[in-house]
Amino acid sequence: MTASCAVGMMSGTSMDGIDLAMLRTDGENVVERGPAFFVPYEAAFRRRIERALEDAKSIDRREERPGDLAALERDITGRHADALHAFLKSGAGQWGRPDLVGFHGQTVLHRPHLGLTVQLGDGALLASRTGLPVVYDMRAEDMRHGGQGAPLVPAYHAALARSAGLGIAGRLPAVFVNIGGISNITYVPQSGEPLAFDTGPGNALIDQWVQREGGVPFDAGGAIASEGGVVRGVVAAYLDKPFFAKGGPKSLDRNDFTLAEADGMELADGARTLAAVSAEAILKSVEHLPDRPRLWIVCGGGRKNPHIVSDMRALAAEAEVLIAEDVGLDGDATEAEAWAYLAVRSARGLPLTFPGTTGCRAAVSGGVLARP
């Protein structure tokens, strides 16, 4: 099957900006990774998205846009259009004109037990603004088939793991870890379909903590946490929540975990303790896997927090913990790459999700194609 050139665009639960990445892929085994790009959100726009999370709590139907959500959706879509134009002008255009755009949008509500997920992003408007075909709304079809609607990245992780270029195929079973606002894993066995689920809070609680207690948006390089210690009672309180006893598939909304258990700690102790919560929640996922992984590959912004990574290494027993760059990946771009890959799969009617990744009744495709 002929490979397509696709751009993936991802604005994740960390709400820090828009990641873009380009691929050539057939949506199956051919994956040629291209350039990547990032457009940050300024602090005021990030705060606007945070306020929108409160507006979104009143949503009962996916199409509802209470409060500022309708205006914010237009603005988010416009920013994605501007980001794509900048990306193609930056040198990515040398790869040629994209055949397709994979557009995630900004998640403001995720309630899988209600079959409800809301991503702000107008695919038809983006297609009109960019002049390119856009695949969007890739979670809803999975939910209509009984799935959690997340995570969607596992199909791409499995393709990477089994490709010859990264040298992972001989070290299976392996686990890809994406640490964004929420952490999720993809377990790739030696044969068969991947397993995947959200593991718990990633960067979200740390970001909320240092913003509330220290007035900064995130703990850059774990500098704040380096001055603190782990409060074991707080870690235990988080990990004792019912979510961790459930096997996969399972998924989280950004607001499912709060700072309540951390109240009263010093700034540095809180940052260090919440990093430990993120790491231990990830490694606790082994309880729900069929075999112990031989390799963990850490992607997403959380790989830049040395405390999360060091805690994972201390807990991983005989398995090796590597960050994405150690195996030749760009850990900032992997999720955007996945959205490009999924767009091609969607356009070709290939499954995006599987019973072992989201709990859907059968492997299912999804997405809506908007043409300019």
360 and 311 in a common domain: no
Neighbours of 338 (CB within 10 A): 29
Give the pair of three-digit tokens for residue 210.
């240092």
d(CA 224, CA 161): 34
Q: What does the pLDDT read at residue 71?
A: 97
Kindly indicate the confidence band of residue 164, based on its pLDDT and cuts at 50, 70 and 90: low
Give the pair of three-digit tokens for residue 206.
């740390």
Tens of pLDDT, residues 288-308: 999 999 999 999 899 999 999
Domain count, the chain: 2
What angle, rounded to 10 degrees, do the helices at 306-315 and 267-284 form?
40
Tens of pLDDT, residues 338-348: 999 999 999 99
Element (H, E) at 234: helix 232-239
Instruction: Give the DSSP letter string of 289-322.
Output: SSS--SEEEEESGGGG-HHHHHHHHHHSTTSEEE
d(CA 280, CA 278): 6
CB contact at 8 A, 119 and 137:
yes
- Domain assignment present for 157: no
Tens of pLDDT, residues 309-362: 999 999 998 899 999 999 999 988 999 999 999 999 999 999 999 999 999 999
With 90 as the cut, is the pLDDT of residue 170 above it? no
For residue 164, give every residue at least 6 positions away whose Cβ sits within 8 Å of its Cβ, in sequence order, or none. none
317 and 203 in a common domain: yes
255 and 338 in a common domain: no
- Domain assignment present for 303: yes
Q: What does the pLDDT read at residue 274?
A: 98
CB contact at 8 A, 39 and 232:
no
- Domain assignment present for 248: yes
Q: Give the range of the structural domain holding residue 40, as residue numbers without chain letter.
A: 4-149+333-370
318 and 175 in a common domain: yes
Tens of pLDDT, residues 82-114: 999 999 999 887 888 899 999 999 999 999 889
209 and 99 in a common domain: no
- Domain assignment present for 155: no
Helix %, strand %, coil % for the chain, to 5? Answer: 45, 20, 35
With 80 as the cut, is the pLDDT of residue 250 above it? yes
Q: What does the pLDDT read at residue 317?
A: 83
27-48: average pLDDT: 94
